[in-house]
């Protein structure tokens, strides 16, 4: 399913990019239709990037629901954006729905990326604080859009700005820490084992076993076990 979604994302964005290039280089007057084509390309591109963030949690049973929810909300946001682009009507309910779904989808995309990089095993204090700040930023953005509460003043804008800065700072630090920690783990050699036994399979044979197991839809260990049982009979 993930492969199908990725191929669909690549294909749809490639088509949208081609239409955008044709609109720019096609000659003639640059009118409303060309602007709408470019805006459609932008919508498809943003949707593609967001979908890749959601897919980063596809193999995480614990947090997969975050990616599913983000994908559904971002799809609704993209549909609303296309209606606003091609419908030609400035509907206030549609505009509010667009900004609300855009804010929630962007927050879930950020959450998916951070969880995939640094939260698979546990949510540490830095990651937890960053996710809480991101949720606070989303709430402060959605509130005025839905006209919840009184009219925000200068203090509201300052609070939103401070939380936004902390959100960006926390996101950068979490990603950098996770990437560098993973790089150090990959570069550090594994300690030699005193009681280590010699390898039973060569590298070439392991590759053959893995490929055969993948073709049959089973695990390498199960494939070897089945083959050994059949041979011993």
Q: What is the pTM of this model?
A: 0.69
% of the chain at pLDDT higher than 70: 83
Is pLDDT of 62 > 80? yes
Predicted confidence (pLDDT) per residue in 99-134, tens digit = 999 999 999 999 999 998 887 777 888 889 999 999
Angle at 37 between CA 33 and CA 38, to 5 degrees: 120
Q: Which residues contact 148 (CB under 8 A, 6 or more apart)?
A: 142
Taking the CB of residue 4, how many other CB atoms lie within 10 A of it?
A: 8
9, 65, 73 from 55: Cα distances, Å: 11, 11, 14
| Stronger pLDDT, 175 or 69, i.e. the higher one | 69
Predicted confidence (pLDDT) per residue in 13-28, tens digit = 787 778 777 777 766 6
Dihedral in degrees, nearest 10, Cα atoms 170, 175, 181, 186 = 180
Which H or E element spans position 199?
Answer: none
Mean pLDDT, the chain, rounded, equals: 81
Residue 5 confidence class, pLDDT cut points 50, 70, 90? low
Is pLDDT of 194 > 60? no
> What is the mean predicted confidence (pLDDT) over 69-74?
94
Residue 224 confidence class, pLDDT cut points 50, 70, 90? confident
């Amino acid at each position: 399913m993930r492969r199908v979604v990725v191929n669909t994302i690549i294909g749809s964005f490639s088509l949208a990019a081609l239409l955008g290039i044709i609109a720019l280089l096609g000659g003639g007057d640059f009118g409303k239709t060309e602007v709408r084509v470019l805006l459609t390309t932008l919508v498809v591109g943003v949707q593609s990037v967001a979908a890749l963030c959601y897919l980063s949690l596809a193999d995480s049973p614990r947090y997969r629901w975050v990616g599913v929810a983000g994908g559904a909300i971002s799809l609704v946001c993209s549909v609303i954006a296309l209606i606003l682009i091609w419908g030609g009507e400035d509907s206030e309910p549609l505009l509010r729905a667009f900004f609300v779904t855009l804010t929630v989808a962007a927050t879930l995309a950020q959450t998916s990326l951070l969880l995939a990089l640094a939260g698979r095993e546990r949510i540490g204090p830095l990651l937890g604080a960053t996710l809480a700040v991101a949720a606070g930023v989303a709430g402060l953005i959605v509130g005025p859009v839905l006209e919840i509460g009184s009219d925000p003043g200068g203090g509201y804008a300052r609070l939103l700005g401070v939380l936004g800065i902390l959100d960006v700072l926390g996101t950068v630090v979490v990603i950098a820490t996770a990437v560098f920690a993973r790089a150090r783990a990959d570069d550090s050699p594994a300690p030699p084992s005193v009681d280590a036994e010699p390898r039973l399979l060569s590298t070439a044979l392991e590759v053959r076993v893995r490929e055969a197991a993948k073709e049959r839809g089973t695990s390498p260990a199960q494939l070897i076990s089945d083959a050994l049982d059949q041979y011993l009979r």
